[in-house]
Amino acid sequence: MLAIRTRFSASSPGEPSWLRCGGGTAAPYEHLAANWRVATIATQTVDEYGVLFRNLFAMDNLEVKEIHGIVISSVVPPLDSTLRQVCEHYFNTKPLFITPGVKTGMPVLYENPAEVGADRIVNSVAAFEKYGGPVIAVDFGTATTFDCVTAKGEYQGGVICPGIGISADALFGRTARLPRVDIRKPAKIIGTNTVASLQSGLYYGYLGLVDGILERLLEELGKETKVVATGGLASLIGKGSKYIEQVDDFLTLEGLRIIWERNVSAKPAAENPTPRVSSGNRAR
């Protein structure tokens, strides 16, 4: 199974694996009410996902009826139809998918803009909006991506490499006698047993890859370029990196919120209801 990369954000309580909500007449949706991570199960039905999502809402005392919008950045295309039906049947909301043609406010300089993954654009929009440009957004997911945004706010392109989890799985899968280990920073670089040696190789080897790529990107973009990291292992690698200045766990959520607001604000007022927040919602 693969950690879900289809990310949800909503105007009040939202959807898995992340959720953003807020209230007020004109204020943006600024308060994170809850967040979850769930596994991608390709064979799971609309009803199974619907029950799962509603149960997650109930655990956090969030009201499904308070949802006024859902935005999805999906990198699992076979699930798009299922997710769309879940949103429409269980939340009475037509979701906004981040696809070519959606208003992002960011010009894409890729040779073929349609090739750029939705999550990469979402991260870039958030990084530029929050930190300015030029900026590099590093996302530690199944793959690790380095996305570059110019000082003018243009998506320039970037780098894609295997994630540390994929690298570790390949090592363990092809070497029968090596045990699986947690990916963590070891106490010292020289391992005195197999587990410590593996952890040292995985951590420092991947840290070297990340800093090596960032060093070259900064040479090309300029030393004033900011570097922000997000994703599951962002904190682990970010603390050891020479170049990562900021770890932002919810960077993708910020981008989803920003893009959703840019698209909703372009609709007639009748299609853009004032958001409401249940008094039971918890902001964190």
Which residues lie below 8 Å from residue 181, measured CB to CB, with a gap of 6+? 168, 195, 198, 199, 202
Is there a catalytic annotation at residue 80? no
Active-site entry in 47, 119, 211, 248: 119
CA 101 from centre of chain = 20
Question: Residue 69 in contact with residue 3, Cβ under 8 Å?
Answer: no
| Residue 219 backbone class (left: φ over 0; alpha: ψ -120 to 50; beta: rest) | alpha
Q: Could you say which DSSP state residue 144 is in?
A: E
Tokens of 108: 């894409």
> Among 100, 99, 104, 101, which Cα is nearest to 149's?
104
3-state helix, strand, coil in the chain (%, to 5): 40, 20, 40
> Among 164, 145, 163, 165, which Cα is nearest to 155's?
145
Query: Other C-beta atoms within 10 Å of 220: how many?
Result: 10
Looking at the annotation, which residues are catalytic? 119
